[in-house]
Amino acid sequence: MKVIDHIQAAKSTLFSFEILPPLKGKSIQSIYDGIDPLMEFKPKFINVTYHREEFIYKERDHGLLEKIAIRKRPGTVGICAAIMNKYDVDAVPHLICGGFSKEETENALIDLQFLGIDNVLALRGDSIKTEANFRPHPMGHKYAVELIEQIVEMNSGNYTTEDYQLEPTDFCIGAAGYPEKHFEAMNLTTDLIHLKAKVDAGASYIVTQMFFDNQKYFDFVDACRAAGINVPIIPGLKPLKTLEHASFLPKFFHIDFPEILSKEIVKCKDNKAISELGIEWGKQQSKELKAAGVPCIHYYTMSNSSSVKAIAAEIF
């Protein structure tokens, strides 16, 4: 079932969450261990992120360096199939531009269609560690809007392969939104122009980057509506869990903590204290968002569901 259909059929705020593929060497059980505690809250869909391959350089004879691709996590497509098979819940794979040609993207979408997966979240993706800036595949897409356009073309039956007639796909496409703007955007106005282009191209809903100040989400929704973006906008929340989050999350995701939260963070002396703070803050955010009638609250679990479970137990 499509995410947009779940939203339209819902009588109250939905619950959903996002997981990371496990590190290489871990079994599928590590995925299930993170999902099982949250199934009592009846998620309508579960997002599965995609992590690009990275590269290492090994020195060979005569001092030459060989670039070797390494893959640290299992494939998102297979994990989505396993989730749908075990839990009978819709899985939403992330598709990214980085590292993929258009043909490879098409092949991934063909696999998803074959497996009965109805939804994709279309993203540009981040640069890899060895790149100062994002570099697209030479035969791939530079922007998420181009990826969305390719998916829409496939939904119309137009493939890059023209040797024989292929069945049209029927994917529901999600896009990412940034209440505190994408870090590469000149300002929020230009960021909204790009977001509207993604919606106009075929995105049916938006999931936001994590935020810790609900007013920024509400202001973002108002700005989207004023810009003519009228699809559902799902807020994304991430409970604080470790002391490392205090510096890592603002730096990596380019977000701010509200002053009242930052004052409480500096009082925390260990991970237990900050985890408790994260749960209480997440509850406050979730209650306000649900009272405002948001279509769904989407939680970023980072594959550790204990804090999300504690929040959801009081909210859903």
Tell me the pTM: 0.91
Burial status of residue 118 (CB atoms within 10 A of its CB: 0-12, 13-18, 19 or more): buried
- Predicted pLDDT at 225: 98
Residue 117 sits in which domain range?
Answer: 3-315
Residue that is written with structure tokens 């009638």 in the block: 293
Residue 231 pLDDT greater than 70, yes or no = yes
pLDDT at 163 (0 to 100): 63
Q: What is the pLDDT of residue 73?
A: 54
What confidence category does residue 67 fall into, taking pLDDT thresholds of 50, 70 and 90?
low
pLDDT class of 70 with cuts at 50, 70, 90: low
Do 167 and 114 contact (CB within 8 A), yes or no?
no
Q: Please give the pLDDT value at position 126.
A: 63
- 89 class by beta-carbon count within 10 Å (0-12 exposed, 13-18 middle, 19+ buried): middle
What would the mean pLDDT of 49-72 be, rounded to a whole number?
A: 64
Q: Quick check: 153 pLDDT over 80?
A: yes
Please report, for the domain that includes residue 235, its CATH number.
Answer: 3.20.20.220
Higher pLDDT, 100 or 85: 85
pLDDT per residue over 175-205, tens digit each? 999 999 988 889 999 999 999 999 999 999 9
Number of domains making up the chain: 1
Q: Please state, as a whole number, how many other Cβ atoms lie within 10 Å of the Cβ of residue 162.
A: 8
Report whether pLDDT(287) > 90. Answer: yes
pLDDT for the residue 97: 85
Residues with Cβ within 8 Å of residue 239, at least 6 apart in sequence = 275, 278, 279, 281, 282, 299, 307, 308, 311
pLDDT digits (tens, 9 = 90+) for 91-108: 999 998 877 788 888 989
CA distance 106 to 290: 37
Q: What is the mean pLDDT of residues 11-16?
A: 97
**Which comes out higher in pLDDT, residue 129 or 241?**
241
User: Average pLDDT of the chain?
Assistant: 90
Nearest C-alpha neighbor of 232 from the set 207, 200, 195: 207
> Is pLDDT of 303 > 80?
no
Q: Quick one: pLDDT at residue 54?
A: 58
Statement: residue 60 has pLDDT above 80? no
Q: Is the pLDDT of residue 313 over 70?
A: yes
- The stretch 206-220 carries a mean pLDDT of 98
Which pLDDT score is estimated for 61? 66
Max mean pLDDT among 45-54, 131-140, 175-184, 282-291 falls in 282-291
Q: What local confidence, expressed as pLDDT, does residue 26 receive?
A: 79
Answer whether 314's CB lies under 8 Å from 283's CB.
Answer: yes
Percent of the chain with pLDDT over 70: 88
H or E stretch including 90? strand 90-96
At residue 34, the 3 state secondary structure works out as: helix
Which pLDDT score, from 0 to 100, does residue 62 have?
65
**Has residue 56 got a pLDDT over 60?**
no
- Type of residue at 10: A
Better-predicted residue by pLDDT, 75 or 279: 279
The single residue listed with the structure tokens 């356009």 is: 149
